[in-house]
Amino acid sequence: MPRLSLICHLPWFKRTGYFKNAEATGHKDKVSSISGHGGTFNIGTSVYAVAPTPCRLLPVSRLDKLRKKSTRRSLATVFLVPASDKGANETVTLDWITNAVENYTASDGVFHISFLETVIFKGGGKKKPRISPKAQKYLFEQGTRDIILWSDAVDLPPGPYYKTGNQMRDVWKLEDDTYGTCMVTVAPKSDPSESFQPLHWIGTRHQFPSFALPSKVQTGDTVDFESKPLAGWRIVVKDNIRLKGTKTSQGNRAYYDVYDASKEIAPCIQKLIDKGAIVVGETKMNSFANWEEPIEYTDYQAPWNPRGDQYQSMGGSSSGSAAAVAAYDWLDIAIGTDTWGSVTRPALWCGCFGLRPTMGAVSGEGIEPLCKEWDTAGLLGRDLQRCIHSAMQWLDMEKMVAEPKPFTSIIWASDFWSIIDDTQQVNSAREFARRMGSILSVDFDTWAVSPPQEAQGLSLREYIEDAIEVQSYDAYHNFEDFRRRYQEKFGHTPYVSPRNQGMWELAKGMSKEERDRGFHKMGVYRKWFNKTILNGKHFNALVMMPLEKMEPRYRDEVPTFPRPPQGGVNALALGPVMKSPVLAVPSRHIPQLPKKPT
């Protein structure tokens, strides 16, 4: 069976640093009292959180009890000292500790020199390491008060901690969600089987929640990357994918009020966690994954796009995921879902890479369905190599429709590009395609020349036009349980946004037979496309096409543009209909965004 891959070529708005936090400098303030939610403290302008429960207990010596060190509170750092080849006590030298501190500082945005208040050296063997006088002097000059030496018998990963006597607690650096991308942020989990715990800390601007970032040293630098290839990677997850312990809103307050916190986690997210990834938040979305522009958000405020003047549309429906990964350098990847462009469109507007995988490559269990025929989880990221690495760990190659093979040609989708009247955008895309290899300009609308027998003489538009609306049937009926539960609980029907009201009204007048005929027509189109377009040397073609025309689209503007941008099987629909992967690629940025007229 031929395999189609789509690459969406698009420009993006340049990110500005308006909301960027200042670097952490200065001294350590007192730690607030530790409650059931933990405590907080400051290092300069940076805010840190202390986990509510200890993660490790250190042995307490009789001498420590006499000196009352068993109740002392301090910041602490653990260093792993490799075992000596000869089995002797390894000595911490001045060069070793200065290099170790420099590496922690360079590789870990959570670590700060203030965490050297207590330093714990953990040996790599059965014997405790030793420390040279010069190394001790260096540490005391950095503010170290206590140096503790332990053997490998003590289970204590490296990195920064908060120490209360013999209790070691995780510390997390708090970062504001300044672009309002998340419905809820969650505490990092030490045990993958535990439920997620929503965080209760509000950002320094008192507008948005805070993310809790674990140390990269603890979560990634010393982990076996063969078993944990995503160790330390921070991710966010769209709010229609189940996380154990959190409530799902689907962008709708009524939905949030009906259902309890999830008792299970979606397998596609558990797979990432098992590979070492750390979930730090659940992102906002268009309500019920329907196409909504920012001004159409009804129940929750739309995320803010970090690109351009920061008042542009974020696209959707995975709007929060795209905005988050575009805005926050500490975030590695974001997970969204895609039915008809819900990953690739926000990638376009937020200037990042967006991958809709081949159907079946990611488990759909635990994802609230819109239209199961086309629903799939997808990923977004700033760096293509990181996207590739995460995809290789995430996708189930055995369940893909076809084994990945090298592309045989590049096809320029002429009729899809007709929606773009921006010559610069078209020329930029052509140059991008030219550098990848020779391209063949193909008009997909060859239906008139070689139509399938099922069309019975109808044009492509006449045959397929009514079929593109069949997903609304599934979108409506998949939420029957929600409407019933809400009616029983509150005594009236739930409110949904005008966009969803329109879709549901359309679906009410559609029969199951009409729905099935529509999907049958999509199947006919897929077979025709494979036979007519993907033949000969183009059997495994890469298709270049635009998603939308890029131009300023302000968040407070009422949309007047066509949705979708074309009729029939358009650029947003081709991948889902063909069950093929789609990759959105940012090609260039617009250096100066025109100001909105006043």
pLDDT of residue 377: 98
pLDDT of residue 9: 36
How far is 559 from 539, CA to CA, in rounded Å? Answer: 39
SS3 of 16-60: the string is CCCCCCCCCCCCECCCCCCECCEEEEEECCEEEEECCCCCEECCC
pLDDT of residue 412: 87
pLDDT of residue 145: 93
Q: What is the residue type of 247? A: K
Rounded mean pLDDT, 56-77: 71
Query: What percent of the chain shows pLDDT beyond 90?
Result: 62
Ramachandran assignment for 145, one of left (phi > 0), alpha (psi -120 to 50 degrees), beta (any other): alpha
The pair of three-digit structure tokens given for residue 185, joined into one six-digit string:
């942020």
- If pLDDT is split at 50, 70 and 90, which confidence band does 64 have? low
| This prediction's pTM | 0.91
SS3 of 326-395: the string is HHCCCCCEEEEEECCCCCHHHHHHHCCEEEECCCCCCCCCCECCCCCCCCEEEEEECCHHHHHHHHHHHC
The tens digit of pLDDT for each residue in 407-443 reads: 888 888 888 888 888 888 888 888 888 877 766 666 6
The pLDDT of residue 173 is above 90? yes
How far is 258 from 262, CA to CA, in rounded Å? Answer: 12
- If pLDDT is split at 50, 70 and 90, which confidence band does 200 have? confident
The tens digit of pLDDT for each residue in 446-464 reads: 777 788 889 888 888 889 8
pLDDT of residue 37: 64
The pair of three-digit structure tokens given for residue 479, joined into one six-digit string:
């939420």
Nearest to 46 by CA among 204, 152, 226: 204
pLDDT of residue 433: 83
pLDDT of residue 408: 86
β-bridge partners, 118: 76, 146
The pLDDT of residue 574 is above 70? yes
With tokens 């959707």, the residue in question is: 316
Query: How crowded is the C-beta side of 363, counted as CA atoms within 13 Å?
Result: 13
With tokens 């100001």, the residue in question is: 595
The pLDDT of residue 350 is above 50? yes
- Structural contact between residues 290 and 252, judged by C-beta atoms closer than 8 angstroms: no
How far is 499 from 475, CA to CA, in rounded Å? Answer: 12
